[in-house]
Amino acid sequence: MATALACSISRLLQVCVDEAHCVSEWGHSFRPAYLRLGHILKTVLQPRRILALTATATMPTEACIAQVLGIPTDGIVRDSPVRDNLRLQGDGHSLVSVLPLSQVGVDVFFHATPPAQLAPRCPVVAALLAAKTRCFKGCHKVSMAKLVEAGNMSSSMAMHQLSRLAYHREIHFEVSRAKALSWQVLRPPPEGGVPALAQVMTQRLLQLEALELRRIDVLYSIMAGAAAAADQEAFIRASVPPYFDSPQAMPSFPQGGPPPPVEEPIGTFKTVRGFLMEQRGRMEGRPPMSATAWRKCGLWGKFTKTDFRWIVKAARVEISRADREEAARVALEGPRASSSAAATSKAGPAKRQKRG
C-alpha cells in the first residue's frame, strides 16, 4: 500500500505525525504500525520534512521518537509541560460536577465486629446503616447513590474506606459489574431545587442521546444509499457536505438514501417484553438492564427499520409496568402476611390451653 501511494504522488513536502508518543509508549491499544512509520517515511514516502507532535512525552520517550522517525537532535523543540496559557480555575457558577464512573451497587459482609459498633468510628458503615440497606443472610445490599448520599462522601472515598475495612478483615465486599455516571451537587440550585436541576440535566442528556442516534442513522443512510447508487463516489460526495455544513442541530437524512427509521410499536413492544421477561432474573440491580446485556441480546437484526428511541421507550414502559406489578404484589402480600401472623398468634394460646 505504501509503495502504491509513493508511486501515485510526488515527493511530499511534509508529513505530520500527531500523538507521536504512541511510537514509544506501548499501551493496551498499541498498534505495531507505529514502529514501521520510520522505515516507510525514510524508504518509501521520503518527505522533505517530518513534524511529530506530542504533549505528553518524557525525555526517554522524546529520544525514542527522534530515533524511530529520524529527527535530528537540533530539530527537537521542547516547551514547558505547564504552559502559561493554561489555567485551572472554577467560575464559581457551576451547580454540579461530573465524577468518575462508579459501581451501581455494593454488597457488604461483616465478620468480626457488628456494624452498629463499627459505625461510630467508620463513616462508611454509619452511612451504610443510615441508608437503611437490605440485609439478607448477613449480606447488606446498598446502591452507591444511597451510600454516598447518606454519608455525604464521594464514591471513591466510600470505596477507599471499604477497602481499608477489608484490609483489616472487618468486612469483605463485592461490587456490581454495572457502572453509572455520578454527579456531585456543588451548591443548591437557585430555583426548583435538586429535582428541577435533575430534570434539566435529564432533558439535556436525552437530547445528546437523540443526536448521537441520529448521526448513526444518517451515516447508515449515506452508506446504504451509496451501495444502491450507480455512481457511489458521486453519491457520497453529494451527501457528506450537507451533513457538516448544515446549521441545524439535528442533521437531516441525505436525498436518495433510505428514509428515516420508522416506528413499529406492536412488534417492538412484544419483542422487548419477551427479552425483558427472559432477563428478569438478572434485573436485581440498577440500572435494570445493563448495556452489556442489551449488546449481547441478539435481537437487533429485527429492528433495522425501527427508530432506536422507540426501543428505549418500549423498554422503559415495560420496566415501569414490571415495577408496578411488583409493588402491587408486595402490597397485596403485606396484609396477607400480617393476617397469617395474627392467626398464628391467636392459635398458639388456644393450642397450649388444649394441651394444658
CB 308 within 8 A of CB 211: no
b vs e for 220-234, b when ≥16 Cβ sit within 10 Å of the residue's Cβ? Answer: ebbeebbeebeeeee
What is d(CA 53, CA 35) in angstroms, rounded to the nearest whole number? Answer: 16
Backbone angles phi, psi at 236, to 5 degrees: -65, -40
pLDDT per residue, tens digit, the chain (356 aa), is 455 555 555 678 889 988 888 887 665 456 677 778 888 888 888 888 899 998 888 888 888 888 888 888 889 988 876 666 665 555 567 777 777 777 788 889 998 888 889 899 899 999 988 987 778 778 888 888 888 888 888 888 888 899 989 888 888 898 887 777 777 777 778 778 888 888 888 888 888 877 887 888 888 888 888 888 888 888 888 888 888 887 887 788 888 777 766 655 566 677 777 766 666 554 444 444 555 655 666 666 666 666 666 777 777 777 788 778 878 887 787 655 445 444 444 444 444 444 44
What's the pLDDT score for residue 142?
87
CA 288 distance to own-chain centroid: 15
What's the pLDDT score for residue 305?
66
What is d(CA 170, CA 118) in angstroms, rounded to the nearest whole number? Answer: 9
Burial of 86 (0-12, 13-18, 19+ CB in 10 A): exposed
What is d(CA 180, CA 105) in angstroms, rounded to the nearest whole number? Answer: 10
b vs e for 323-336, b when ≥16 Cβ sit within 10 Å of the residue's Cβ? Answer: eeeeeeeeeeeeee
What's the pLDDT score for residue 346?
47
What's the pLDDT score for residue 297?
63
What's the pLDDT score for residue 3?
54
What's the pLDDT score for residue 51?
92
pTM: 0.50
